[in-house]
Amino acid sequence: MLPSTFFSLPAQIEVLAAGEVLRRRNQTLTSVLHLESGRVLRGVYEDGRMRHQLGVVEGPFWLDAASAMLEKPFPVDMVAETRVQVRRLPIEEFRRGCASLPPVAQGLLRDMATGYRQQSELAVSRLAQDAEARCAQWLLNHAQPDHSGAMSVTLHQRKRLIAAQLGIAPETFSRVLRHLREHGLIAGTGNVLNLPQPHALQSVAGC
């Protein structure tokens, strides 16, 4: 998207081993990474592995130029698939370089950066929705009527084990439960979760 020769990149090259995390979702950027060589995975990194891969890039490539240009947090996780070499440019220097471009070029790059970010955010959003649907389906599958006929689920296992069954990280499972609780689809405390709106939960599950 941007030629690296346009910027005065630092002479120091950082070498990172395969498996190292370069960027985290929602991370506020203080620098911009230029991938000199190697291959980097983009996606959702949970529980020590790239659980959902959304793409792969190879150097030379600006890894986070779109977010830096739009002054927004980073939307996805980035993990080195191979040994990589990167140069780290302070974000203020990067923005000064962009600001020196002709206005027409700046507008074009901002439009491209916006489209790139929207695609990434949409992909991550769909993955979150998928996790929510799986959790809702699990709750419905394990629901039992109580003495009053209301539906409830008793958690006989630790949340970490339930999350593993669903193929999501424990943090994701807790986040989805909190989201469902905020929308009134589950209630209760401890190991018993009440389902006050099973039909609405079915809609979340895609039934």
Task: Give the model confidence (pLDDT) of 51-79 as tens digits.
Answer: 888 889 998 999 999 999 999 988 999 99
Decide which of 58 and 127 is more confident. Answer: 58
The pLDDT-based confidence of 129 (bands split at 50, 70, 90) is: confident
Which of 45, 97, 41, 43 lies closest to 68, judged by CA?
A: 97
Residue 189 has pLDDT above 80, yes or no: no
Where in the chain is CATH 2.60.120.10? Answer: 5-128
DSSP H/E element including 85: strand 84-90
The pLDDT-based confidence of 50 (bands split at 50, 70, 90) is: confident
Average pLDDT over residues 6-33: 89
Residue 5 has pLDDT above 60, yes or no: no
C-alpha span between 177 and 59 (Å, rounded) = 39
Where in the chain is CATH 1.10.10.10? Answer: 131-205
Residue 194 has pLDDT above 60, yes or no: yes
Taking domain 131-205, whether its CATH number is 1.10.10.10 is answered by yes
CATH numeric code, 5-128:
2.60.120.10
C-alpha span between 91 and 19 (Å, rounded) = 25
Decide which of 176 and 149 is more confident. Answer: 176
Which of 165, 117, 171, 120 lies closest to 139, judged by CA?
A: 165
> pTM higher than 0.75, yes or no?
no
- Compute, in degrees rounded to 10, the torsion defined by CA atoms 90, 117, 44, 173: 120
Average pLDDT over residues 70-93: 93
Mean pLDDT of the chain: 88
